[in-house]
Homo-oligomer: A and B are copies of this chain.
Amino acid sequence: MDQMHTHISRQFNAELEDIRSRVLQMGGLVEHQIEQALEALIKGNTEQGEAVIMNDTQVNKMEVTIDEECNQIIARRQPAASDLRLVVAVIKTITDLERIGDEAEKIARMAVRLAGEERPKNNYAEIQAVGQQVCHMVHDALDAFARLDIEAALRVAREDQQVDQKYDGAMRQLITYMMEDPRTISRMLNVIWAARALERIGDHARNICEYIIYLVKGKDVRHTSLDQVEKEILGR
């Protein structure tokens, strides 16, 4: 009897491990999608942009599969406490990863649209600055998820403010270009959509960090200021 119990719990642990590693796998693909979409935009590479658009179905499929697995785990294993929190955190994380994938796809669509147009002299320097930071955020959020590192999660969540600042700067710059040369308006709007998609990816990365804190500490920190979270969670 005891042996059977150990056996079941070992299988259960393997299942939990499996959904965790699948999330990281999905996250890796999503990260790749953002990088490729940005490169397609900056290099004006239509094929690369189209590849990102194609691969989005892959991201979607992964979400559906992991979601299904989570539901089965809840139904079969009836997890409690931290196991349950892991499953719920995974369900939420993959929703945000899927949305990050959607944003990457949007950037790729803008890249394709812009590929045929005249390139700005600074080669989208504003977008590149936001893009790089956002890529790091997603990478570090997934890393914090893998190591269940709440200090890292808090650090990444905080970066979202910097992304927002860089985004605001980029927007001001782009509006100036539009005012200087109204013929660029419709082209610049595509650049603005891409910038906005990046800013949203930052929000989603922050969401993932909040799920990590919830998962580790059992505390819902959405809609709480990061200073307060730091005080309560890390006792600073």
- Stretch among A9-17, A60-68, A112-120, A127-135 lining the B interface: A60-68
A146 at interface, CB cutoff 8 A: no
A1 at interface, CB cutoff 8 A: no
A84 at interface, CB cutoff 8 A: yes
User: In residues 172-231 of chain A, which contact B (Cβ within 8 Å)?
Assistant: 175, 178-179, 182-183, 185-186, 189, 192, 196, 220, 222-223
Instruction: For chain A, give the interface size range.
Output: 20 to 34
User: CB-nearest residue of chain B relative to A60?
Assistant: B223
Residue in contact with A223 in the complex, picked from B57, B75, B183, B223, CB distance below 8 Å: B57
A234 at interface, CB cutoff 8 A: no
- Stretch among A19-27, A43-51, A87-95, A161-169 lining the B interface: A87-95
Complex: A61 Cα to B84 Cα, angstroms: 22
A71 at interface, CB cutoff 8 A: yes
> Which of A68, A178, A183, A196 is packed against the most chain B CB atoms within 10 Å?
A178
User: CB-nearest residue of chain B relative to A193?
Assistant: B196
Complex: A126 Cα to B116 Cα, angstroms: 30
User: In residues 78-108 of chain A, which contact B (Cβ within 8 Å)?
Assistant: 78, 80-81, 84-85, 88, 91-92, 95
B88 A84 Cβ-Cβ under 8 A: no
A125 at interface, CB cutoff 8 A: no
A8 at interface, CB cutoff 8 A: no
Complex: A189 Cα to B63 Cα, angstroms: 34
A220 B64 Cβ-Cβ under 8 A: yes
Complex: A220 Cα to B94 Cα, angstroms: 14
A74 at interface, CB cutoff 8 A: yes
Residue in contact with A220 in the complex, picked from B68, B85, B92, CB distance below 8 Å: B68
B189 A185 Cβ-Cβ under 8 A: no
Sort A-B residue pairs by CB-CB distance and give the 9 closest, nearest first: A78-B78, A60-B223, A182-B182, A75-B80, A178-B185, A64-B220, A179-B182, A175-B186, A179-B185
Task: Identify 14 new A-B residue pairs, CB closer than 8 A, beyond the known A179-B185, A185-B185, A189-B192.
Answer: A60-B223, A63-B223, A64-B223, A71-B84, A71-B85, A74-B74, A75-B80, A91-B91, A91-B92, A95-B95, A175-B186, A178-B178, A179-B182, A179-B183
